[in-house]
Structure 1
Amino acid sequence: MALEPPLTDLPIKTAERGFYRGFSIDVTVVSKVIISALVVWAIFWPTESGRILGQLNSVILENLAAWYIWTVALFVIVCLGLAIWPTAARMNLGVEGEKPEFSNFSWFSMMFGAGIGVGMLTWAVAEPVAHFGNNPEVIQGLTTGGAADNVRMAYKWSFLHWGLGAWACYAVCGLALAFFSYRRGLPLTIRSSLTPLFGASLSGKIGHLIDIVAVVATILGVAQTLGFGVEQFVAGLTRIGIGGLMNADGGATTVGIIVALLVIMGASTLSALSGVGKGIKWLSNINMVLSIVLLGFFILFGATFFGAQNMVLGLFDYLVALPELSFNVWTSDGVEGSEAFLLAQWQGWWPVFYWAWWIAFAPFVGLFLARISRGRSIREFVLGAMIVPALMCFVWFAWAGGTAIDLELNGDANGVIFDAANGDKIFAMTEFMLAPIAEFLAWGMALLIVVLLMTFLVTSADSAVLIVNTINAAGDEGPKARPHIIFWGSALGLVVAGLLISGGTSAIQTAMVIGALPFSIVMVLMCVALIKAIYNDGRREAQGIPTLAEQSSTPAE
C-alpha cells in the first residue's frame, strides 16, 4: 500500500459564542461534572466515599500491580529506544531549523519545578528514611532495618521511584504531544497523539473521551502532589511561628488546610492568568535558585562525604538492579504476615503507588513539557526530560536524605528527625542542625523552605490549570477565559480540601491510583502511535513524501 502524507488537520468543535466560547463543550462540561461530583461525594459522604474508594483501590492493587509495573518499564524502553534510533533521534519537534523558545536553564527549571519539585521537599528526606527502616531486603532478611547495612538499599529503592521510570512517563506523553502538535500541526491536546491509530475519528466522541480521561487524571495527579505539599506547607508555617494550624498528632487541622489552600491556589490562579512565558517562567527560575541554595546547604554543611558516597553507590546499585526491578512483580500468598504477603503489600504501597502517581501526573507534565520544548530534537528532549531531572532527584536524595540518616546513625539526632511527620522531617532536620548555633538561623532556613515550597506548589498548580484549559480548548493556548481559570483553580483546591478533610492523603492516593488506570491505557497507545508515525515518516522521507504540516495538508496517516 502506497504511503500518503500524514494527517495534518484534526478539527475539534468548539463553542463560537457564550460562556464556553473557544472551548469544547463536550470535554469541558463533562470534566467539570465528574470533578464536581467527586468533590461533593468526598465532602458530604466521607465515610461511604472512603469505603468505596478503598475497595476499588484494593482490587486494583491485587489484580493490576503487574500492569502498572510493566507499563512503566515499557515507557523507559520506548524513550531510550527513540533516543538511540537514528530516524527518530534527529527529528525536530517543530519545523525544520526551528530553535527552542526557552534557554536550557529555564527549560530545566520549568521541567523540574512542574514535574517533581514539590515532592523533593517532602520525600528527599522522608523516603530514604522510610526505606532505611523497611524495604524488600529487610522483609527477606537480607539487611537489617535501621542499621548501616541497609543504607544502600534505602537509596536503591528511592532512586527507582524517582528515577528514569518517573520521567519516562512524562517524556512519553510530552514527546507524543510535541511530535503531533508541532510537526503535524495538530491541536495541542491528548487526542492528537493517537491519530496514527484512530485518524480523523478523533474529532468526535472517541477524542472527547480521551481528553476527558486526561483532564480527570490531571486533576487527581496534581491533587496528590498538592495534598503532600499542603501538609508540609502547614508544618512550615508552624515552624516559623504561625500557630493553630496543626493538631497534636502532627497533622494539619481543617483550618490549616483551608489557610494553606487559600494562599497557594490564590497565588497560582493569579500566576495562571499571566501565562507560561511570564508568571510560570518567573516562578520556576526563582524556585530553581532557592533549590540550589538549599541543596548547597546540605552538601556543604550536612553529610558531605556520606552523601557523595551514597550518590555513587546508590546510582550503581540502582542501574545494576534496574532491569530486574522494572519487571519483577511480587504475588501475595494470602497469608497475612508471610514474606510473600509483606512483599506484595510493600510493592503496592510504594512502586505501584508511584507508577500510578506519575501516570496520573503525565498529561499535565507531558503537555507542559511539550509546550516548553518546541524546536528541540527528539534525542535532546528524551535525554533532557529523563536523565537531567532524574540526576537532580538523586542528588537531593543523596545529600538531603543522607544528612538525615547520618545524623540518626551517629546517634546525634536521637529520633528527632525519624519521629517527625513526613512533611515536617526537613524542618526538624534543619532546626536540629542550626538551632544550637543560632535560633534565627533555624527560623530563617524554615522560612526559605516555606517560600521554596510555595513557589513549587504555585508552579505546579498554575501549570495544571493552564494545561486543563488547553485540553478543554481543543489544544488552543489562546482562549483562557478568566472564569474557567478561576473554576479549575477552585476545583483543584476543593478536591484537595475535600479528600484531605474526609480521609487525609490516603484518600487522595486512592482516588489518584484509580484515576490513573484509564490514562495508562491511553499512554500505551501513545507509544504505539508514536513509533508507527516515526517509522512511517522515515519511509516517507526516503520516498520524498512530505512529513510536516507546512509541507502538506492531505488528511491521511
Structure 2
Amino acid sequence: MQKVSKVFFISLAISLLFIIWGVIPADVWPNWNLDTVTTLIQGFLVTRFGWFYLLVTTGFLIFAIFLIVSKYGNIVLGKDGDKPEYNYLTWFGMLFSAGMGIGLVFWGAAEPIWHLHLPPFPTETEAEAARVSMQHSFFHWGFHPWAVYATLALALAYFQFRKDEPGLISSTLKPLYGNKMNGGFGTLINVIAVFATVFGVATSLGLGAQQIGSGIEFVSGNIANTIYLQLIIIAVVTVLYMMSALTGLNRGIKILSTTNIVIAILLMFFLLFTGPTNFIMNFFTTTLGSYISNLPEMSFRMAPFNEENATWLEDWTIFYWAWWIAWAPFVGMFIARVSRGRTVREFVVGVLLVPTIFGALWFSVFGGSAIHLEMNEGIDIYSIVNDAGSEAALFTVLENFPLTGIMAVLAVLLISTFFITSADSATFVLGMQTTNGDLNPDIKVKVIWGVVQSGTAAVLLWQGGLAALQTASIIAAFPFAIIMIMIVLSVIKAFREEGKLYELKRRKREKN
C-alpha cells in the first residue's frame, strides 16, 4: 500500500484494541470493562465540563456568522478562478447525506415525542410542551451542529485547496505551529481524528442496522428484528458500500447522495400532504420563529439551580454537542473535499442554512405527525417507543397514514442508502487521513477501514456494546474541541495574512 502514514498503523492498532476490549464480557472484568470505564469518563466530562461543550459549540456558530459578514467572505476555497466541482443539488445531497441523514431518519419522529413527555423544563400545558419539544429538536439539529462542521470543513478546504497543504487536520494548524505539525504532535492530532471517526461511524452503522431491522419486521410482519437479522443487514450493506467506495467519489457517493435527497424529499412531502398538512406547516412556522428568537438563550442555557433540568441538558444538549464535535473530523473532511471552488461566504451560508431549514421541516413533518397522533388521535406513540426503542417511532407514524407498506419500504430504502453513503464517505475520509491527505486513497486502505468499521459495529452489536462505543467516541470530542479552538485561531491568522497580501497587490495595481 503506497503512501500509508504512521497514523494508519497507530489508529488501526488502537481500533483493534478497543474492539477486543469491547467484547470482553462484563462479568469477566466487572470494574474495567469498556462500558463501565467509558461511562465513568463521559459522566465526569459531561458533569464537570458541560459548560465547556456549550460555550465552544456556540463559539463556532458565532465564528461562522462572522465569516459570512466579514471581508474574508470573498476568499475562494481554491485558487482564484476555480469553479465548484459539483452543482448545488449534488453538493447539498453529499454534505447532507454524510452529515446527519441517517440521524434525521432515526430521530425525526422519536425525539419530539421524548421531549413532549420529558421536557427540558416544567411546562404548564401539553401544547406548551409540544412547542418546547419541537423547538429543542430544531436546536439540536440546526445551526449549532452545522456550524461545527462548517468551521472544520472550511479550514480543511482552505489549507488544502488554496495553500496546497495535505488534507489533514494537522495541516490546518501550521500557521500557529509551523513544521511541528509534521512531527509527533501532528500525528497525535490526526490519530484523535481517526479514532473519533472510526467509532462514531461504527456506532451509527449499528444504530442504522437496528432501524433497518425494525423496518423489515414492520413490512414483513413475521421477520423478527433480532441480532441475527441486524448482523445480516450489516454484512449486506458492507458489500454494497464497499462496491460504492471502489467506484470512486464521482460515481458511487455522488449518485447515492442524489438518490438519498430525492427519496427523502418524496417521503417527507408524501407525509406532509397525506398527513395533517395545516397543523404541520403551522407548527413548522411557529417553531421556526421561537427557535430563532430563543436561540441566544438556548445557546447558553445551563441549569445550576435545578438538578433535574441539568440532567436533561447533560443527556440531550451536552451529549449532542459532544457527538457533533466527535463527528466533525469525518463530516468536515468530506464536506471540504466536495466544496472546492466555492467562496467562504457561499460555503458557510450553504452549509449552515440549507441543512438547518431542511432538518427543521423534516422534524416538523415526522415529529409533528407523531405529536398530532398523540394529542388528537389518542395514539400512545411514547409507550411504543419506550417499549420497542426509538427506531420504531418512524414506522409507528407511517402505520397511521395511507400507503403504509409502500412508505415503509421507501423508508427502509432511505435508511439503507444513508447507511451506505455514510459508510462509503467514512472509508474515503479515513483513507485520506491515513495516507497523508491523498485525495484518491488506495483501494486497499479503504477496504481495510471498511472492514474495521463494519466489524466493529457487528462485534459490539453482538456484545451489546454499542453504547460503550458511542461513549468512547464522544470522549474523543473533548480533546478535539480544544484542537478546533486552535484551528479557529489558525484560520483567523491565515485570513489576516491573506488580507494583507491582497491589500499589497491592490496598492501595486493602483500605482501601475
Residue of structure 2 in register with 1:453 after alignment? 415
Q: Does 1:423 align with 2:403?
A: no
Residue of structure 2 in register with 1:393 after alignment? 359
* Partner secondary structure for residue 178 of structure 1: helix
Which range moves more in the overlay, 466-475 or 265-274? Answer: 265-274
* Structure 1: distance between partners of 2:88 and 2:390: 33
1:59 to 40, 44, 49: 44
* Structure 2: distance between partners of 1:149 and 1:173: 36
Q: CA deviation at 1:244?
A: 4.8
Q: Does 1:205 align with 2:184?
A: yes
* Structure 1: distance between partners of 2:380 and 2:493: 57
TM-score (norm 2): 0.94
* Structure 1: distance between partners of 2:301 and 2:238: 40
* Partner secondary structure for residue 302 of structure 2: coil
Residue of structure 2 in register with 1:288 after alignment? 261
Residue of structure 2 in register with 1:31 after alignment? 11
2:374 to 395, 399, 408: 408
Does the CA contact (< 8 Å) of 1:500 and 1:508 recur in 2?
Answer: no
Does the CA contact (< 8 Å) of 1:137 and 1:143 recur in 2?
Answer: no
- CA offsets per residue over residues 325-368 of structure 1, 9 Å max, x none? 1122223x7xxxxxx22111111110111111111111111111
2:319 to 353, 356, 371: 353
- CA offsets per residue over residues 171-194 of structure 1, 9 Å max, x none? 011000001011101111111111
Does the CA contact (< 8 Å) of 2:112 and 2:134 recur in 1?
Answer: yes
Does the CA contact (< 8 Å) of 1:162 and 1:393 recur in 2?
Answer: yes
Does the CA contact (< 8 Å) of 1:118 and 1:457 recur in 2?
Answer: yes
Q: Does 1:272 align with 2:234?
A: no
* Structure 1: distance between partners of 2:207 and 2:185: 34
* Structure 1: distance between partners of 2:285 and 2:408: 29
2:446 to 468, 481, 485: 485
* Structure 1: distance between partners of 2:308 and 2:441: 50
Q: CA deviation at 1:412?
A: 4.3
* Structure 2: distance between partners of 1:462 and 1:243: 31
Residue of structure 2 in register with 1:329 after alignment? 302
- CA offsets per residue over residues 39-74 of structure 1, 9 Å max, x none? 111012445221111111111111111111111001
Q: Does 1:495 align with 2:479?
A: no
Does the CA contact (< 8 Å) of 1:356 and 1:517 recur in 2?
Answer: yes
Distance 1:356 1:464, change over 3 A: same
2:285 to 312, 329, 334: 312
* Structure 2: distance between partners of 1:495 and 1:74: 33
Does the CA contact (< 8 Å) of 2:35 and 2:465 recur in 1?
Answer: no
1:90 to 52, 74, 84: 74
Q: CA deviation at 1:417?
A: 5.7
Does the CA contact (< 8 Å) of 1:500 and 1:507 recur in 2?
Answer: no
* Structure 2: distance between partners of 1:42 and 1:397: 34
Distance 1:514 1:545, change over 3 A: farther
Instruction: Letter of the 2:134 partner, please give it.
Output: Y
Q: CA deviation at 1:226?
A: 2.1
* Partner secondary structure for residue 154 of structure 1: helix
Q: Does 1:215 align with 2:194?
A: yes
Distance 1:462 1:456, change over 3 A: same
* Partner secondary structure for residue 145 of structure 2: helix
- CA offsets per residue over residues 485-522 of structure 1, 9 Å max, x none? 22211111122223333335432331222122221111
* Partner secondary structure for residue 262 of structure 1: helix
Does the CA contact (< 8 Å) of 1:417 and 1:429 recur in 2?
Answer: no
Q: Which runs of 5+ in 1 are unaligned?
A: 1-19, 247-252, 334-339, 435-440, 547-557
* Structure 2: distance between partners of 1:298 and 1:268: 29
TM-score (norm 1): 0.87
Q: Which has a greater percent of helix?
A: 2
Distance 1:242 1:43, change over 3 A: farther
* Structure 2: distance between partners of 1:503 and 1:59: 23
* Structure 1: distance between partners of 2:302 and 2:455: 36
Which range moves more in the overlay, 500-509 or 219-228? Answer: 500-509
Residue of structure 1 in register with 2:55 after alignment? 70
The number of residue pairs the alignment matches comes to 500
- CA offsets per residue over residues 355-413 of structure 1, 9 Å max, x none? 11111111111111111100000000000011100111000001111011101111342
The aligned runs of 1:531-542 (5 Å cut-off) are 531-542=492-503
Does the CA contact (< 8 Å) of 1:128 and 1:158 recur in 2?
Answer: yes
Does the CA contact (< 8 Å) of 1:101 and 1:373 recur in 2?
Answer: yes
Q: CA RMSD in A?
A: 1.8
- CA offsets per residue over residues 285-306 of structure 1, 9 Å max, x none? 1111111110011110112111
Distance 1:500 1:172, change over 3 A: same
* Partner secondary structure for residue 433 of structure 1: coil
Residue of structure 2 in register with 1:189 after alignment? 168
Q: CA deviation at 1:149?
A: 2.5
Residue of structure 2 in register with 1:298 after alignment? 271
The aligned runs of 1:119-198 (5 Å cut-off) are 119-138=103-122, 142-144=123-125, 147-198=126-177
Which range moves more in the overlay, 488-497 or 100-109? Answer: 488-497
Residue of structure 2 in register with 1:521 after alignment? 482
- CA offsets per residue over residues 270-324 of structure 1, 9 Å max, x none? 1111111110000001111111110011110112111111111111111111112
* Structure 1: distance between partners of 2:325 and 2:203: 12
Does the CA contact (< 8 Å) of 2:216 and 2:223 recur in 1?
Answer: no
Distance 1:505 1:128, change over 3 A: farther
Does the CA contact (< 8 Å) of 1:408 and 1:417 recur in 2?
Answer: no
Residue of structure 1 in register with 2:510 after alignment? none
- CA offsets per residue over residues 110-136 of structure 1, 9 Å max, x none? 111111110111111011111111122
* Structure 1: distance between partners of 2:245 and 2:59: 34
- CA offsets per residue over residues 508-543 of structure 1, 9 Å max, x none? 331222122221111111111111110111012112
* Partner secondary structure for residue 381 of structure 1: helix
Q: Does 1:109 align with 2:97?
A: no
